[in-house]
């Protein structure tokens, strides 16, 4: 399934394979770009506005610019009433993205340092 504004494009004028190959059951969110001779595995999901320039394995979720794997495996998210964690027009907050975790860790540490500084200055 391709949503609004998806680009599937070649990156060179050379002869040979230039465009992406999509597996069965692939979902590509709005505005995503899949560029070059990459392969998107079966049941993979590409988040909105992601720019994919490397292969995405079967069942994985790719997000970001450039796209990175946020979730791997054949999880559909529909087992036992769970939310899929994937939005076709943006990614839900329940995705286990290491970059987001790192930023949250830095922010939490900054808050801790600010609180300690206020305590010392008081």
Within a domain: 113: no
Total number of domains in the chain: 1
Whole-number pLDDT of residue 74: 45
Paired with 28 in beta bridges are 2, 46
Within a domain: 1: no
What CATH number is attached to the domain comprising 80? 2.160.10.10
CB contact at 8 A, 89 and 69: no
pLDDT > 70 fraction of the chain, expressed in percent and rounded:
78
Residue-wise pLDDT tens digits, 79-103: 333 334 455 555 555 566 677 778 8
Nearest to 44 by CA among 30, 25, 31, 29: 25
Within a domain: 65: yes
Within a domain: 59: yes
Domain encompassing residue 62: 7-94
Choice between 75 and 110, residue whose per-residue pLDDT is larger:
110
Task: Please tell me the pTM assigned to this model.
Answer: 0.62
d(CA 94, CA 90): 12
Within a domain: 20: yes
Q: What does residue 103 show for φ and ψ, rounded to 5 degrees?
A: -65, -45
Residue-wise pLDDT tens digits, 14-64: 888 889 999 999 999 989 999 999 999 999 999 888 999 999 999 999 988
Tell the burial category of 74 from Cβ atoms under 10 Å away from its Cβ (0-12, 13-18, 19+).
Answer: exposed
């Amino acid at each position: 399934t391709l949503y609004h504004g998806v680009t599937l494009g070649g990156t060179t004028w050379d002869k040979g394979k230039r465009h992406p190959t999509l597996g069965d059951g692939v979902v590509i969110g709005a505005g995503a770009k899949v560029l070059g001779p990459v392969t998107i595995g079966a049941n993979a999901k590409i988040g909105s506005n992601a720019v994919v320039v490397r292969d995405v394995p079967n069942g994985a979720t790719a997000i970001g610019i450039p796209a990175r794997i946020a979730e791997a495996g054949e999880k559909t998210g529909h087992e036992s009433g769970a939310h899929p964690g994937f939005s076709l027009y943006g990614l839900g907050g329940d995705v286990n993205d290491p970059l987001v975790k790192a930023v949250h860790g830095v922010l939490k540490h900054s808050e801790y340092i600010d609180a300690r500084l206020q305590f010392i200055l008081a």
